[in-house]
Chain A
Amino acid sequence: MEPLRTVAGRAYPLGRPDVDTDTILPAAYLKTITRTGLARGAFEALRRTPGNVFDDPAFAGAPILIAGANFGCGSSREHAAWALLDLGIRAVIAPSFADLFASNAFKNGIVTVELSQPSVDRLTAVARGGTLRVDLETMTVTSSTSDAFAFTMDPFRRESLLLGRDEIALTLGSEAAIARHEASGVVEPIVAL
């Protein structure tokens, strides 16, 4: 994973709450054996609505998405995160996220920024014409209209994003501890089929 320090530019002012992962990427696009090319299916149903933000040329290629509470609820499909990545989105700002989506986003180098509903509302309004900057070093979101909002984040996740850390390589560094656990007799033995 590439290290991530800042994400800056236009932001899709989506705003709606409870955006589920079926809405982010419908099931028809899950029949793939790769991670790439999923932008074509992203928000497919929403994009059929006239005037939707994803087809507005003003936001083309925007690296930030602003949504309502409980973003990414439902299915655990990591394809939803891959579709956002394929759209060029590296930061999602919302009042809250579903646990599974937040984890999947983080594993793909997408930063999930939790801010209060009023702050999100303000940034949604700003995003219509202005630009935003998410800074992972200082843990702030700033705007072209001089807004500044501080956010907090799990320190491990923040460090992983800043370093572009390969988590599997990190865990394999704990090989001795894993082997000790397995040798201690606490793993429920498996009866083969």
Chain B
Amino acid sequence: MRTHPRTLYEKIWDAHVVDRRDDGTCLLYIDRHLVHEVSSPQAFDGLRAAGRRVRRPDLTLAVPDHNLPTTPRRRADGSRIPATDPDSAIQLAALERNAAEFGIPYIDDASARQGIVHVVGPELGFTLPGTTLACGDSHTTAHGALGALAIGIGTSEVEHVLATQTLLLKPSRTMEIRLEGAPGIGVCAKDIALHLIGRIGIAGATGHVIEYTGSTIRAMSIEARLTIANMSIEAGARAGLIAPDASTFAYLQGRPMAPKGTDWDAAVARWRALTSDPDARYDRSITVDVAQVPPSVTWGTSPQDVVPVTGGVPDPAAFEDPARRALAEQALAYMGLEPGTPIADIAIDHIFIGSCTNGRIEDLRAAAEVLRGRRIAAGIRRAMAVPGSGQVKRQAEAEGLDRIFRDAGFEWREPGCSMCVGLNEDRVPPGGRCASTSNRNFPGRQGPGSRTHLLSPAMAAAAAVTGHLTDVRELTGNA
């Protein structure tokens, strides 16, 4: 046990070490395990082959999200409309069967609670401060927004958690990212996250757990914090942590799986200690002056290819490293862009608003605010709004947001990962160019040959209205 001042990461880590080997490898207890259909079938098969059980099905929650069609899933008579893709249908059926066989709580595809794992966990109160949480998905870092140590894992590790409720891990290095100041008009959490990744690079936090601190984070809503923590993996981080505070407790109180009554009071008393000690040392520390962060957008095929929306497409000749220059040239060729082109001159034909990064109610509100009373431009072939969960969808409908999206010419869909990952039918066609609130713009990410520009929900809505990448401030009269 350490006696020196500790960071939040070290405190959570220490509290979960079950066993420590001489070489420093720790057996870390996992308090919460989220399971989805893509990264789990082989893990359950492994358990069956070895005759092993799930150690703590009660600490596990299974929910389908990646493959689910975002079209209706039940007929009027309540019978299931199967996924049209046979492989998707098989994978979805396997999750349902495995959850039943191993006694794992399961949220089915038509449940009001179904959604993207990283939206569902926080909104149910499954994700709690000070816990360790694992899921076979890289964007698991999102849950760190609530002060949980949340890490993405592969299928072999999913099997390890199912069988033992632990993971074999070595501690990561620590990195403080201090966000200070008030964001400018039209600047959201997504802009800050993109700007940060543009600055430190997609390997900038490899080997580290990030803790986000500073006045910007403190002032941020939990949903905005979820966006920031979610994008930690795009900087290469193992996890992204934000210390819980009054906003966190207010967000969690009354959620279905959050503690109740006197248990709640006791939990909050415990959670208040979940901060880094004043003299705690981080291996690295960087500060971002958030007032200087512009509305941002990606131009290339990596989340670090970030420019202000007021800027232009960079010239690969300006890259000193020959390998980087070659990559930039390939990125521009793939994206069909010329160096020096103003970002605002880039025409868009697809819009995607959703994903575990930006599929929550505040994201939909921000987009609807821009779309209210407006229509999508003539050149937009498809505009999709995909709520991150059934709860988000119902809330949006209660607020009349669905009407705003529909009136603007958007499709209003059922919840899931959708066009972010291109596993269901929601894909950008070859050569299509999408303004997307998702998290990755790798070649082919949203479908073979698709071209992706990552941006915030407000900026995606602005692009939908004008038909090209647009500074949202021009539509809100703040340019």
Q: Which residues on the A side are within 8 Å of B88 (C-beta)? A: 31
- The residue in chain A whose Cβ has the minimal distance to the Cβ of B203 is A70
Within 8 A of B (CB), among A65-94: 68-70, 73-78, 81
Give the residues from 153 to 207 in chain B that come closer than 8 angstroms, CB to CB, to chain A.
153-157, 159-160, 163-166, 168, 170, 172, 202-203, 206-207
Q: Is the CB of B327 within 8 A of A190?
A: no
Q: Quick check: is B143 within 8 A (CB to CB) of the other chain?
A: no
Interface-lining segment among B18-26, B219-227, B382-390, B460-468: B18-26
**Closest CB of chain A to B42's CB: distance in Å?**
5
User: Which residue of the partner chain B has the closest CB to A158?
Assistant: B23
**Shortest Cβ distance from residue A105 to the other chain B in the assembled complex, whole angstroms:** 9
Select B164's contact among A81, A154, A172, beta carbons within 8 Å. A172
For B85, B156, B172, B302, which residue has the most chain A Cβ atoms within 10 angstroms? B156
A146-193 contacts to B (CB < 8 Å): 154-156, 167-168, 170-172, 174, 177-178, 180-182, 186-193
The answer to whether A168 and B202 touch across the interface, beta carbons within 8 angstroms, is no
Q: Tell me which residues across on chain B come within 8 A of A22, comparing CB atoms.
A: 440, 442-445
Whether B444 contacts A171 by the Cβ 8 Å rule is no
CA distance A17 to B319 in the complex (A): 14
Measured between beta carbons, the chain B residues less than 8 angstroms from A108 are 156
Interface members, chain B 307-338 (any A CB < 8 Å): 323-324, 326-327
B259 touches A189 (CB 8 A): yes
Q: Given contacts A98-B203, A99-B238, A188-B128, is CB(A168)–CB(B155) below 8 Å?
A: no
User: CB-CB < 8 A to B349: which residues of A?
Assistant: none
Residue from A32, A35, A103, A178 within 8 A of B165 (CB atoms): A178
Shortest beta-carbon distance from B133 to chain A in Å: 10
By a CB distance below 8 angstroms, the chain A residues around B59 are: 187, 190
Closest to B264 in A: A191
CB distance A178 to B302 under 8 Å? no
1/0 per residue B32-71: CB within 8 Å of A? 1000001101100110001010010011010000110000
Query: Which applies to chain A's interface (DSSP): helix, strand, loop or mixed?
Result: loop
Q: Which residues of A contact B323 (CB under 8 A)?
A: 15-17, 68
Q: Is the CB of A99 within 8 A of B423?
A: no
Q: Is B402's beta carbon under 8 Å from chain A?
A: no
Contacts known (A107-B157, A168-B50, A172-B163); A76 close to B136, Cβ less than 8 A? yes
Beta-carbon nearest neighbor of B42 in chain A:
A35
Within 8 A of A (CB), among B5-27: 15, 18-19, 21, 23-25, 27
CB-based contact A18/B327 at 8 Å: yes
In the complex, which of the residues B18, B85, B202 contacts A181, with contact meaning CB atoms closer than 8 Å?
B18
User: B444–A174 contact, CB under 8 A?
Assistant: no
- A2-25 interface bits toward B, Cβ cutoff 8 Å, 1 = contact, 0 = none: 000000000000011110101100
Within 8 A of B (CB), among A85-138: 96, 98-100, 103-104, 107-108
Question: In the assembled complex, how far is the CB of residue B145 from the closest CB belonging to chain A, in whole angstroms?
Answer: 17
Q: Is A33 within 8 A of B41, CB to CB?
A: yes
B131:A188 contact, CB within 8 angstroms: yes
Q: A33-B94, A73-B236, A174-B27 are in contact. Are A26 and B206 (CB under 8 A)?
A: no
Task: Indicate if the CB atoms of B15 and A186 lie closer than 8 Å.
Answer: yes
- B156→A78 contact, CB < 8 A: yes
The verdict on A60 contacting chain B, using a C-beta distance below 8 Å, is no
**Which residue in chain A gives the minimum CB-CB distance to B162?**
A168
In the bound complex, residues from chain B placing their C-beta under 8 Å from that of A168 are 46, 50, 52, 159-160, 163-164
Q: Within the assembled complex, what's the spacing in Å between the Cα atoms of A29 and B218?
A: 41
Interface membership of chain B positions 439-457, coded 1 if the CB is closer than 8 angstroms to chain A and 0 otherwise: 0101111001000000000
- Distance from A13 Cβ to chain B, minimum over Cβ atoms (Å): 13
Q: Once bound together, how far apart are the Cα atoms of A89 and B279, in whole Å? A: 46
6 closest A-B pairs by CB: A107-B156, A78-B154, A31-B87, A104-B154, A33-B41, A76-B138
Please list 5 pairs of residues, one from A and one from B, whose beta carbons are closer than 8 Å in the complex, sorted by A's number. Answer: A33-B94, A70-B202, A96-B203, A182-B29, A188-B131
